[in-house]
Amino acid sequence: MELLQTVLITLFTLAILVSIHEYGHFWVARRCGIKVLRFSVGFGKPLYRWRDKLDTEYVIAAIPLGGYVKMLDEREGEVPEELRHMAFNNKPVGHRLATVAAGPLANFLLAIIVYWFVFVAGVSGVAPIIDKVEAGSVAELAGLEVGQEIVAVDGEATPTWEALHLRLLERIGDSGEIEFTVKYANSDLTYSSSATVETWLSGVEVTDLMAGIGIELYRPKLIAEIDQVVAGSPAAVAGFKTGDIVVQADEQPIAQWGDWVDYVRERPEQAIAVQYLRNEQVLSSLLTPERKIDEQGQAYGQVGMGVKWPEWPPELRRDFQYSPVTALTASLKRTWDMSAFTLQSIKKMLMGLISPKNLSGPITIAKVASASANSGLSSYLSFLALLSVSLGVLNLLPIPVLDGGHILFGVVELITGRPVSDRIQAMGYRLGFFIIISMMMLALYNDISRL
C-alpha cells in the first residue's frame, strides 16, 4: 500500500510539472502562429487521445516520465505549401526563442504561484537552538555554545531550522569563513563569531548538515508514549492502549521512542516482556512483533503502535503571516534564491567542490515526494515548487537536446545572422544526449546505492 501511494504521488507530481512545462511551449507557439501537431504528457503508447478544432492531437501516454510538444517543422518531414508559414523552422528567430524559453519560464511561474499560496497560508517553523556541540568541530571553533539560538549565517537570517539548513547548503564546498550570529534565551543581544573551513563537506555525500558543523539542535524528548494502536496488531492483541508509556523491554530501560523502535525492529517474531505505565501504574505484557521485510529484503519487527509527538515550547515556535502583496514578494525571492542555489550547486559539482554522490534521481524524488505529501499540504507544495524551479533551471542549461541548447543555437543565429548548420546541430544533439543519459545513469546509480 505504501509503495502504491509513493508511485501515485510521484506520477501526479511529474504530471503537473511536465504539463505546465509543455503548456508553456504550446501556449507561446500558438501565439507565434506555429502549428502544434501534438501535445503529449508521457511517452510511449497513447492511452487516451483527442483533437481540438485546430487539429492538434492531445495525448496521455503510457510512460509518465516526461512529455513533449511536437510542432510543424520542415526538418522533420514534408510540409504542405499552404502550411509552410506555420512551420517552426520558418518563423523569425525571436519567435522560436520565445517558444523554446516558454517551457522553463512556465516552471518558474508555477513555482512563484505555489510559493505564493504557501506564504499566504502562513509559514511555521521552530527556532534552531543548539543542544550539543561536538569537540573539534566547526561550531566549537566558532565558539558556539549549548543553549544559543543561531539567528543568522553569513548575515542571512535563520529564524527556523529550514532557513538554517538552506544557508548551510549554500556553503557546501566553500573555503573561507562561515560567520554565525547567535543569541541567548531571553535576550535580544546578538553575538557574531566565525570559523574557517576548507572545501567544507567537499567530496562526501551530505546527509546531515548540522552534523557537518558539529551541532545537534534541540528537540523535545520523544518518550515512548503511545498515541495510537492499530486494530488487530500485536500491540492491540497484547492489550496496549493510547496513553500507555513503555518503560522497559526485557528488563532493559526504554528512555525514548527511538530506543523502543530499535528494540522491536531487531526482534521479529521474538516475544518481548514489556513493562509500561498506565495511569501511573506499572503493568506488564508479553508482546511478539510481526515479521516484515524491508526494501533490501531484510526482516524486521513491527508491533502496530504510533508515538505521541510532544508539543514544541511556544517560545521556540516561529510563525510568519503574509499579506497577498508581501507573499508575492516573498515567493519571487524564494524562486530566485532557489534558482541561484541550483546553478551554484551545478557549478560546484563541475568544479569538484560538491560530490556527484549528492546527485539524486527518480527513486529519491519519489521518496521525498511521498514523505512531503505525508507531512501535509504545505510541505508537499514547497517540494513541488522546488522541483519546478530545478526543472526550469536544468532545462535552461546550454546543452543541446535541452531547451537551453535550442536557445544557444538561436542566440548564435541572432549574432551571426544565419542558422547554425545542420551538421553542427546534429553533433551537438549527440553530445547533449550523451551528457543527459550519463547524468541520468549516475543519478539512478546514486539512488540504488542509497537503498
Residue owning grid cell 513533449:
68
CB 235 within 8 A of CB 326: no
| Beta pairing, strands 245-249 & 299-302 | unpaired
- State the Cα angle at 154 between 149 and 160, rounded to 5°: 40
The single-letter DSSP state of residue 129 is B
Strands (E), 52-104: 57-71
The pLDDT of residue 451 = 66
> Among 180, 182, 190, 193, which Cα is nearest to 147's?
182
| Beta pairing, strands 305-307 & 226-229 | antiparallel
Report d(CA 52, CA 38) in Å as an integer: 10
Bridge partners (DSSP) of residue 123 are 320
Dihedral angle computed from the Cα positions of residues 138, 139, 140 and 145, in that order, rounded to the nearest 10 degrees: 180
The pLDDT of residue 349 = 85
3-state helix, strand, coil in the chain (%, to 5): 45, 25, 30
Which of the residues in the chain have pLDDT under 50?
Answer: none
Provide Rg for the chain, Cα atoms. 27
With both helix axes pointing from N to C terminus, report the angle between 2-31 and 93-121 in degrees, rounded to the nearest 10. Answer: 140
Residue owning grid cell 517543422:
73
User: What is this structure's pTM?
Assistant: 0.84
Query: What is the sign, positive or negative, of the torsion defined by CA atoms of 272, 273, 279, 280?
Result: negative
The pLDDT of residue 53 = 92
Tell me the per-residue pLDDT of 281-339, one tens digit each, with 9 for 90 and over.
999 999 999 999 887 788 999 999 999 988 889 999 999 999 999 999 999 999 999 99
Q: Which amino acid does the sequence have at 435?
A: I
CB 413 within 8 A of CB 421: no
> Among 321, 418, 349, 339, which Cα is nearest to 123's?
321
Catalytic residues: 22
CB 157 within 8 A of CB 355: no
Q: Which amino acid does the sequence have at 256?
A: Q
Query: What is the sign, positive or negative, of the torsion defined by CA atoms of 17, 22, 23, 25?
Result: positive
The number of angstroms, rounded, from the C-alpha of 276 to the middle of its chain's C-alpha atoms is 39
Tell me the per-residue pLDDT of 341-391, one tens digit each, with 9 for 90 and over.
999 988 888 888 888 887 777 677 777 777 777 778 889 999 999 999 999
The number of angstroms, rounded, from the C-alpha of 267 to the middle of its chain's C-alpha atoms is 34
Query: What is the sign, positive or negative, of the torsion defined by CA atoms of 433, 435, 441, 443?
Result: negative
CB 137 within 8 A of CB 172: no
CB atoms within 10 A of CB 406: 20
Report d(CA 218, CA 222) in Å as an integer: 12
Dihedral angle computed from the Cα positions of residues 368, 369, 372 and 377, in that order, rounded to the nearest 10 degrees: 170
